């Protein structure tokens, strides 16, 4: 029986391994982590991450051929294939601070593999890593190997949170990069055989190591660039009276461009886009390509601009001050169907409003009060470390309350900011909400999910990203 071990039981390690266990009953899968609370949660009824469909997959395999454990050494020792899916945060100190990937966790995982292995193994990079990481990992492993042979493969993960299980069941492609040697090709084949249990052969792409590593960074950079492109257009739409939905539709019907991922919004978030682009920028700079680095940097700049533009709209519309005003924040996760708040635009928007002394009442169906308070007090990039190594937040933000109901959040509020596109926000009783609010009552739709015209009929002043502005908003221009 093939044995797989995955180091790192996070958003990637947990779901990917659960699906491998489900689809390959003949393979034994152990997911290990240094965080005991995380492993305990994986072994409980309350999984550590929310992802539609995940519970069912885990329930079916756990204890059969899927195991979660803190005994990293034991499971690495037993495995034929070791996936590494640990955090690769942005460095906050030293060389490359603010851009380069911090490979501390990766290196310590590699050293454990080298230390405990007594048989040849395939080591698979699942984490997103800088190009040429495999070479560094190879060196750590071979210099400590005591005669054991390791083959390094790059198998970046393309799942999207919120649709992870769907994506894993039916991936657009699985990418496997390896050495162009007979041993490297043999290792590629072994991993291909695992995926071939459910992924059609023509969707399993094989490349050299560096192409696979770079493809992941490139794919995320392209996706983020699409969002920043639409958002850049949304600012121009507001200035000219064009409508971003109409423009995006017209643009997206060109089959070379395609319709997906073209919604105007308050900006992208999530653990990957910004981090991976910063990483790409750093690699370009290190390779003497400053123009290429500048090009990709702009994608992040537009994203930051979009968030501050949104805050400025809110403040400018409300008579240039939100001091002491209650603002309801609907949605805190970086997108719907996940509880993940890493790099969510809600953090910057809330911080911007708090900077203007607003009082915030926040509701998100999947995010806890503790998480929100941590996010609003944590330093940039600190979130991307294992939970028990993150600094504890010493204080809570007093001007923030977290509630478990959208109606409670909006009661007596002066304005509403919709920051996550949860379906339930589309069908709220806005008439009832309007009646409970201070007047004039504002809705700032950062995801373009409400029917702005209907809300205007009720009496709201509505701002929707990239849509023609209300007369009210036109009279109160926001200078970013």
Give min distance, CB of 403 to ligand NAI, in A: 27
Strand 174-178 to 442-445 pairing: unpaired
128 binds ligand NAI, rule: CB under 6 A: yes
Closest CB to ligand NAI among residues 128, 448 = 128
12 among annotated binding-site residues: yes
Q: Scanning the structure block, which residue is given the tokens 């071979």?
A: 142
- The tokens describing 206, both together, are 């094989």
344 binds ligand NAI, rule: CB under 6 A: no
Q: Are 11 and 271 in contact (CB under 8 A)?
A: yes
265 binds ligand NAI, rule: CB under 6 A: no
Task: From 3-11, 197-205, 370-378, 466-474, give the range in contact with ligand NAI by CB under 6 A.
Answer: 3-11
15 binds ligand NAI, rule: CB under 6 A: no
Give min distance, CB of 198 to ligand NAI, in A: 19
Task: From 9-17, 58-66, 145-153, 354-362, give the range in contact with ligand NAI by CB under 6 A.
Answer: 9-17
Give min distance, CB of 303 to ligand NAI, in A: 17
Q: Which of 38, 75, 313, 414 is the binder for ligand NAI (CB under 6 A)?
A: 38
295 among annotated binding-site residues: no
Rounded Cα distance between 249 and 259, Å, is 7
Give min distance, CB of 84 to ligand NAI, in A: 8
Contact mark string toward ligand NAI, 72..101, x via CB under 6 A: x------------xxxx-------------
12 binds ligand NAI, rule: CB under 6 A: yes
User: Binders of ligand NAI among 150-169, rule CB under 6 A?
Assistant: 157, 159, 161
Residue 194 backbone dihedrals phi, psi, to 5 degrees:
-65, -55
Whether 272 is catalytic is: yes
Q: Scanning the structure block, which residue is given the tokens 């990992």?
A: 137
Q: How many CB atoms neighbour CB 136 within 10 A?
A: 16
**For the chain, what is the largest distance between any 2 Cα atoms, rounded to a whole number of angstroms?**
75
282 binds ligand NAI, rule: CB under 6 A: no
Rounded Cα distance between 251 and 242, Å, is 13
13 binds ligand NAI, rule: CB under 6 A: yes
Give min distance, CB of 138 to ligand NAI, in A: 18
Contact mark string toward ligand NAI, 381..420, x via CB under 6 A: -----x----------------------------------
CA-based nearest residue to 169, from 178, 156, 182, 160: 160
Specify the DSSP class assigned to residue 468: P
- Quote the strand ranges of 78-210, DSSP E: 81-84, 121-125, 150-154, 174-178, 204-208
- For 354-371, give the secondary structure using H, E and C: HHCCCEEEEECCCCCHHH
Q: Are 341 and 334 in contact (CB under 8 A)?
A: yes
279 binds ligand NAI, rule: CB under 6 A: no
Q: What is the DSSP string of 335-403?
A: STT----TT-HHHHHHHHHHHTT-EEEEE-TT--HHHHHHHHHSPTTGGGS-GGGSPPPSS--TTEEE-
| Binding-residue total with ligand NAI (CB under 6 A) | 27
Q: Which of 35, 43, 208, 399 is the binder for ligand NAI (CB under 6 A)?
A: 35
Judge if the upstream peptide bond of residue 440 is cis by omega within 30 degrees of 0: yes
Task: From 1-9, 203-211, 226-234, 322-330, give the range in contact with ligand NAI by CB under 6 A.
Answer: 1-9
272 binds ligand NAI, rule: CB under 6 A: yes
Give start and end residues of each alpha helix (H) in 241-344.
Answer: 244-252, 273-286, 290-317
Catalytic residues: 272
Task: Pick out the residues of the known binding site.
Answer: 8-13, 33, 38, 86-90, 127-128, 161, 272-275, 342
Binding-site sequence positions for NAD(+): 8-13, 33, 38, 86-90, 127-128, 161, 272-275, 342
Binding site for ligand NAI (CB under 6 A): 7-13, 33-35, 38, 72, 85-88, 105, 108-109, 127-128, 157, 159, 161, 271-272, 386
């Amino acid at each position: 029986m093939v044995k797989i071990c995955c180091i790192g039981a996070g958003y990637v390690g947990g779901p990917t391994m659960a699906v491998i266990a489900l689809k390959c009953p003949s393979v034994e899968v152990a997911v290990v982590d240094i965080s005991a609370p995380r492993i305990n949660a994986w072994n409980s009824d309350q999984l550590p991450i929310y992802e539609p469909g995940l519970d069912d997959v885990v329930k079916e395999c756990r204890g059969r051929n899927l195991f979660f454990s803190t005994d990293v050494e034991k499971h690495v020792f037993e495995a034929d294939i070791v996936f590494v899916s640990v955090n690769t945060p942005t460095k906050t100190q030293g060389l490359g601070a603010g851009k380069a990937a911090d490979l501390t966790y990766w290196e310590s995982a590699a050293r454990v593999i080298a230390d405990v292995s007594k048989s040849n193994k395939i080591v698979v990079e699942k984490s997103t890593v800088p190009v040429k990481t495999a070479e560094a990992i190879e060196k750590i492993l071979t210099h400590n190997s005591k005669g054991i042979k390791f083959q390094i493969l790059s198998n970046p993960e393309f799942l999207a949170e919120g649709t992870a299980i769907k994506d894993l069941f039916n991936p657009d492609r699985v990418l496997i990069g390896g050495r162009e040697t007979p041993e490297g090709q043999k290792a590629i084949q072994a991993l291909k055989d695992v995926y071939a249990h459910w992924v059609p052969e023509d969707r399993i792409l094989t490349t050299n190591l560096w192409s696979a590593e770079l493809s992941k960074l490139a794919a995320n950079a392209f996706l983020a660039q699409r969002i920043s492109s639409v958002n850049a257009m949304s600012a121009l739409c507001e200035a000219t009276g064009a409508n971003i939905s109409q423009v995006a539709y017209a643009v997206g019907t060109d089959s070379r461009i395609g319709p997906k991922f073209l919604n105007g919004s308050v900006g992208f978030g999530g653990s990957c886009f910004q981090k991976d682009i910063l990483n790409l920028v750093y690699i370009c700079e290190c390779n003497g390509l400053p123009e290429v680095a500048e090009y990709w940097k702009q994608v992040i700049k537009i994203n930051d601009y979009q968030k501050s533009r949104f805050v400025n709209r809110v403040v400018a519309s409300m008579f240039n001050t939100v001091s002491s005003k209650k603002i309801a924040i609907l949605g805190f996760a970086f997108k719907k169907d996940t509880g993940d708040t890493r790099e969510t635009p809600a953090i910057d928007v809330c911080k911007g409003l708090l900077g203007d002394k607003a009082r915030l009442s926040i509701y998100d169906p999947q995010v806890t009060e503790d998480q929100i308070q941590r996010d609003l007090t944590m330093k940039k990039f600190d979130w991307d470390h294992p939970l028990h190594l993150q600094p504890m937040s010493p204080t809570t933000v007093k001007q923030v309350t977290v509630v478990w109901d959208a109606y409670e959040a909006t009661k007596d509020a002066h304005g509403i900011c919709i920051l996550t596109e949860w379906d339930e926000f589309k069908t709220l009783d806005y008439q009832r909400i309007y009646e409970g609010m201070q007047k004039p009552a504002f809705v700032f739709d950062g995801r373009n999910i409400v029917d702005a015209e209907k809300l205007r009929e009720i009496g709201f002043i509505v701002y929707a990203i990239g849509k023609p502005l209300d007369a009210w908003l036109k009279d109160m221009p926001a200078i970013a």
